[in-house]
Structure formats: C-alpha cells, structure tokens
Amino acid sequence: MSADRPDPDEVFDFYEGGDYRPYQRAALHEAANALWSKEEVSNVVLNLPTGIGKSPINVALARQSGDAFITTPQKALRTQLERDADLNPYYSTLRSRVDYNCLATTDDEETYDCKDCPVNRSDEQSCINTANCTYWNRKEDAMSASVASITFSYLIVDGYLPVSTEDNKRVSFGNRELLVVDECHKLEGQVASLHAGFKVSPHTLPDRVFAQVDQEVGELPDDDVTELDDVRMELNRTFDRAVSYISDKGSTGMVPEEESLEVQACRNFKRKFKWAKMQVDKGRPWVVSREETTVGNNVRYSIHVQPVDVDKFLQEHVWSRADKRVLSTATMPFASDPDRWVTRLGLDPAETHVVQYPMPFPAENRPIYTDKVVGKMSSGGWDTHADEVVKMLESLSHQHRGEKGLIHTASYDRAQQLGREFRRNSRVHNSYEDTDLSEQIERWLRSDDDMFFSPAATDGVDLPYEDCRWQALVKVPYPHMGDPRTRYMMDERNAWDWYYETTAQDIQQSVGRGVRAPDDDCAYYVLDASFFDVLQKVDLPDWFTDAIHR
C-alpha cells in the first residue's frame, strides 16, 4: 500500500453506523479496496438495495479519504442525513441562505433569512465582510471541514466561484479528493432539466430583462421546436440584454456569490446559454419547448432549453471536482449492463467498480400484489377506469383502516382528483404550496388522515413502521411524452429501452418507501395493468421480482 493512499483494511475505523447490517461490512470493504488499492479504479458505484445502509458506508469512505464532498439531489435528503445522530458529528453541512436566520441585520421590528437580508440584497454591501453573518460562518465551517455535505445543485454553483478573493478571503470549496453522489439513479434527467438545461422566463431573469424578450418569445412559431438553432436569434437577443444589464449593475467589486440577486440571475443565464451554444455548435442535440402562462390579464411566455445527453456537462462541471467518485443508489439503471449507464453519465467503465449485494429484507415483509389491478391507465385508460380505482382504494383503505397509506398518482391533477373523493380521510401533495414535500408529509403523519396522494413521493421519502403500512400504484409513471427531451429520445433514437428503464426506476424506488428495516412491513398494491408491460420490457432485480404476488 502506497504511503499516500488510505489502507482499505482501516476503513472500519471510520464506520459509525452501529451494528453492521447484512452485507454492509462486506460492501464497505469492497468499496474501500476498489478506491484505494486498484490504480485503475476512479469510480465506485454502490448499488445496494434499501436496508443495507448506504449512508454509513458513504460517510465512512468520505472520512477515510480525509477530503470529501457528500452531495444529495434534494434538500430533504440532505436534511435526512443531517438528522442521523450517529453520522452527524463527522461532516459539516451547508444549507441554502434561506435556511439560516440573519443575525447581522435583525432588529426588534423585523427578522430576515440570509437570502432576504438587506445586506445580501444590496448592491453596495457584501455579506462576506459582515460580522456575524450566519450563512458565511456556516460556509466557512463547511469549507474547512474534511467532509462537507451539500446539495448536488450547490456543488455545481460552487464550481463557478473563484476559490478566494484578491485579499485571500475563501469563497468556494475548491476541488477535493472524493466526491460522493447519493441517490444518483435520476442523475441523468435531473442534470438535463435542472443543471445543464435552463429556462428563459420571468422566474429566471429579472423583470426588467425578461420584459424586453417576452414579446419576442411569444412570437416563436406555434410548431413544436426541437432544435436550439430554431430559436438562436431570440436567445441571442436575450443574452445580449442580460450582458448589458450585468455591465450596468456589476460594478460593485463583489465576488459573484455576493452580487445582488438580479445580477446573479443574469450571470447564471449568461453561463448556461454560453454552454448550450457551444454544445450545439459541436453538433450535440438540444431540445427547446415553449410554455405560455397567464398572469392576471397578461400572457407571459418562457422557453425551456435542455440537452439530450449530459455526459459532457457532468465531465466538465461535476466529475472534475474530485480525483475519485462514489455513486450511491438502491436502484442502478440498466443494472444488468452497468457499463451502459456509467457511459451515459460520462464515466469510463474501465475505471469503474460496481458493488452489488442482495436485498436483506424478507420478501414476505414487502409483498407486491398484482391481484388488485383495475386496467390500463395510459392512453385514455384513466378516464375509463377512474371510478373503479376509487372503489378499489375504498376497499384497500377499509382493509387497512387506521393505517397510513401512500398513493402514487404519477400526476398532480390525478392526486387532486382522488383527494376530492377521499376528502375526509386523505392529504394531497400540492405542488403550489410553498412548503416542500417532506413538510407536507410531516403534516400528514401528524394528522388522523390515512391516505396521502402524491406523484412525487417515489424516492427521497423515509416512512418506516407505522408511518406507512401500505402503498398503491394507481398509474405507472411513464416519462411524459410532452417533454421535448423524451420526445427526441423516442422519435430520433427509438429509445424504448430507456423509456421503460426510466419507468422501472420510479416503480422500484416507490416500493422501498415503506419498508426500512428487517422487521418492518408494508404491502404494495398495483392497480395499473401497464405494470405487466414494464415487467416484460425491463430486466428487474431479483429482490423486486421475488416480492411479486401474481
């Protein structure tokens, strides 16, 4: 073992997860051995089903590296990790500005979070030089910690910041030895839509900038637009105005993170547009869609631009942030052909080691029942079978009277529709509420209502024991064909394997929401006959198929 490489046999000294669960010790050692003993390995994929305990493994590997990021795709997952009393002492968490109360400017009359405080919104002042700034104190702690826990989004934003100011004030984390990406099974879609992609809309550009392009965007042709070149002129005009706006507002001498929110919005747009333009010029496909929203008496337009492939973006903006990487998930896409998924993410299969172990929970504790199927819900099937679905859910709710049940609806409209049918015994995941999903679920758990209807609780939700004793899949969550990226994948690449694999990922994740320990149990009922199509099209893992009651 090289003197400058960790000894994989010592990784157990960094484990803080209590007693080892089945396969956990073996998975931890295999991952450490691959990372630190094999010269050719730069990436480790932990494909470990729910119950093995990936978080203690992630933290142990990060601690052994001595210089690591741990990232999560959602704030809720970061919070979930932060609440783990066994692991919390061993990393420093940085949240968003909005999560911290401002102590520097608060007086008796008004309080602020660190995003909305007068200093952060000022063009003349900087929080970085403000005494007792809660956000900057926490950021400095995280930047100096050997293990920093941040969201995946923040990792990307941080990469655009200078490491330090001219007077050596630390601004960003810089690169590290190890990058851990938790819950990475949806990484491809999330990066395409949220990180590499962008919107030109009233929400992403200041009003004074967007107002100048609103009319131009509205005059785009009504035909479906599938290539960025078709709106190049309109985007160029927007870009020019954004740059002009920045030049007018950006003379404060602040570091990028401390600029006013309006200037930050323009800079973000400038950065993303330049990347998109460069990729299109290289012949890589991007797709564009136009949306129309009525605000009062006014019609507002926006365009959503996203790449079809994300490998180059990840290589440049994410994988470059560390020498080695750990990708952690319970449901690796294309699990029977890992090289395929790894390649789609811009990683080299020859430099990647996959760690896989069986599901430790008994199949009888997590049954998947298919004898409650009502019919196919796609292609107008929902309108045909909606009344039958309501009757079936009534039957299941009586069967599980007094027990919490999570209902997966695949759309907010469907959740609302079902919520109206069970108004006295349910909560509905409302997309328009300011609170996030985890807070809405917390309200449901504290209530006397049995059912929770949601299209977005397939992953990132932890509902052990009495928090959830049954689930129902009322609609198979196929990718939305109205999404231009999905349409391109199907029309131009005939990618039906990707289409069904993406669907299977959501279903597998949803099954795992209610069984979180070996002695836990939760029944899962399938109501959509399209489930059988997915079974035929996808090579699903044994832990999933073993639980199906046909």
Average pLDDT rounded to a whole number, residues 493-500:
96
Going from the C-alpha of 177 to that of each of 324, 353, 369, the distances in angstroms are 6, 17, 45
Average pLDDT over residues 67-95: 86
pTM equals 0.90
Predicted pLDDT of residue 292: 74
pLDDT of 129 reads: 77
pLDDT digits (tens, 9 = 90+) for 424-472: 999 999 877 767 888 899 999 999 999 999 999 998 888 999 999 999 9
Q: Give backbone dihedrals phi and psi of 500, rounded to 5 degrees, phi first.
A: -75, -35
Per-residue confidence (pLDDT) for residue 226, from 0 to 100: 44
Position 494 scores a pLDDT of 97
* SS3 category, 265: helix
Average pLDDT of the residues in 313-334: 97
273 vs 452, higher pLDDT: 452
Q: Report the share of the chain in percent with pLDDT over 70.
A: 87
Q: CA 160, CA 271: separation in Å to the nearest integer?
A: 9
Whether 2 has a pLDDT exceeding 60, the answer reads no
User: Would the pLDDT of 229 be above 70?
Assistant: no
CATH architecture assignment, domain 363-549: 3-Layer(aba) Sandwich (3.40)
Q: How many CB atoms lie within 10 A of CB 401?
A: 9
Is the per-residue pLDDT at 127 higher than 90? no
Chain centroid to CA 36: 28
pLDDT score, position 4: 75
- Average of per-residue pLDDT values in the chain: 87
Give the type of residue at 11: V
Q: Give the mean model confidence (pLDDT) for residues 278-285.
A: 86
pLDDT, mean of residues 162-167 = 81
Domain 8-91+145-191+312-356 has CATH 3.40.50.300: yes
Mean pLDDT throughout 137-156?
94
Q: What is the mean pLDDT of residues 232-238?
A: 58
Structure tokens at 276: 């998109």
pLDDT value, residue 369: 98
Least confident of 98-102, 229-233, 442-446, 536-540: 229-233
What would the DSSP string read from start to end of 415-449?
HHHHHHHTGGGEEE--TTSSS-HHHHHHHHHHSS-
Q: Give the whole-angstrom CA distance, residue 166 versus residue 31.
A: 40
- Give percent of the chain above pLDDT 90: 62
The answer to whether 453 and 409 are in contact (CB under 8 A) is yes
pLDDT score recorded for residue 181: 97
Residue limits of CATH 3.40.50.300 in the chain: 8-91+145-191+312-356, 363-549
